[in-house]
Amino acid sequence: MTEELFATDAYRRRFEAAVTDVDAAQGRVALDRTAFYPGGGGQPADVGTLVWHGGTAGVVKVARDGGRVWHWLGEGAGLPDPGAEVEGALDWERRHLLMRTHTALHVLCGVIWADYGVAVTGGNMEPGSGRLDFELDAMSAELGQRVEARINEEIARARAILVDFVDRSEADRDPALIRIKANLIPASVDPLRVIDIVGLDKQADGGTHVASTAEVGRATVVKTESKGKANKRIRIAVSDPEPGS
């Protein structure tokens, strides 16, 4: 098993680790610990670099496989040997923008739940933009404008964002988690990692987030769409706050 450093410290940019396995056929290595997020829950995997004695390579893909986190290295870069000590470094600008985006989507989820009482049914993101689908009966540009204003109100409140690990049996009884389909998470995931935007939104989530909503910047609803009966999509973009705001 790989120790997942990102799960407890999303701000860790560099780390040291040992190579536990090498897959030359796929050009990938497994490490005993990593700060690279392997993707999941709509959040893309991290990229960055690995450095070891006699070599440097870009990390171009990261994914879980067989209980370990594997790191695919750039073509032609070579691979470290099993047992080698390596230093990993994230593409921090990209990761931090993903953290801001992911938190903005959780704020959107919290606003829709608080104001309309409906669940999120799906989502996806890239650095700086993302979307969520909801069980809403209707969608309009006016609703999008109201939601945008509410998202930015919550961002401005500088709500703290906490990470907790909750016993699965307790989590399955929590309506705040069931509303985001926590019951679809495999029962083998125990304890359940929970992201709590204090006073707004609390849900099971494996991704990385900023420590305060204020760090998000500004969110803009760029598009609202109807994707079928009781399935409406809201797309947002994240940007730096306006000067003086």
Sheet strands side by side (includes 161-166): 161-166, 192-197, 201-204
Cα 118 to Cα 136: distance, rounded to the nearest angstrom = 7
Q: Are residues 156 and 35 located together in one domain of the fold?
A: no
Q: Are residues 134 and 232 located together in one domain of the fold?
A: yes
Q: Are residues 111 and 154 located together in one domain of the fold?
A: yes
Which pLDDT score, from 0 to 100, does residue 186 have? 65
The answer to the question of residue 45 being in a domain is yes
Question: Residue 8: which domain range?
Answer: 3-90
Whole-model pTM?
0.92
Reduce the DSSP state of residue 215 to 3 states and report it.
helix
Which pLDDT score, from 0 to 100, does residue 229 have? 80
Which pLDDT score, from 0 to 100, does residue 8 have? 95
Q: Are residues 233 and 120 located together in one domain of the fold?
A: yes
What's the chain's average pLDDT?
A: 91
Domain endpoint, select from 90, 109, 139: 90
Q: Are residues 14 and 73 located together in one domain of the fold?
A: yes
Report the share of the chain in percent with pLDDT over 90.
Answer: 74
Which pLDDT score, from 0 to 100, does residue 185 have? 65
Q: Are residues 35 and 136 located together in one domain of the fold?
A: no
Which pLDDT score, from 0 to 100, does residue 4 have? 96
The answer to the question of residue 245 being in a domain is no
| Cβ neighbours, 10 Å, residue 26 | 12
What CATH number corresponds to the domain at position 57? 2.40.30.130
Residue 182 confidence (pLDDT) above 60: no
Domain endpoint, select from 55, 90, 125: 90
Which pLDDT score, from 0 to 100, does residue 41 have? 86
Domain endpoint, select from 73, 90, 107: 90
Q: How far is CA 224 from CA 109, 131, 144, in A?
A: 14, 9, 6
Domain count, the chain: 2
The answer to the question of residue 69 being in a domain is yes
Q: Are residues 67 and 86 located together in one domain of the fold?
A: yes
The answer to the question of residue 106 being in a domain is yes
The answer to the question of residue 203 being in a domain is yes
Q: Are residues 234 and 198 located together in one domain of the fold?
A: yes
157 — pLDDT class (breaks 50, 70, 90): very high
67 — pLDDT class (breaks 50, 70, 90): confident
Alpha-carbon 102 to chain mean position: 5
What CATH number corresponds to the domain at position 231? 3.30.980.10
The answer to the question of residue 244 being in a domain is no
* Per-range mean pLDDT, top range of 69-78, 98-107, 197-206: 98-107
Q: Are residues 102 and 145 located together in one domain of the fold?
A: yes
Q: Are residues 111 and 173 located together in one domain of the fold?
A: yes
Q: Are residues 144 and 72 located together in one domain of the fold?
A: no
Which pLDDT score, from 0 to 100, does residue 92 have? 98
Query: Which structure tokens are listed for 167?
Result: 């016993």
Q: Mean pLDDT throughout 25-43? A: 96
Q: Are residues 66 and 167 located together in one domain of the fold?
A: no
Which pLDDT score, from 0 to 100, does residue 121 have? 87
176 — pLDDT class (breaks 50, 70, 90): low
245 — pLDDT class (breaks 50, 70, 90): low
Residue 180 confidence (pLDDT) above 60: no
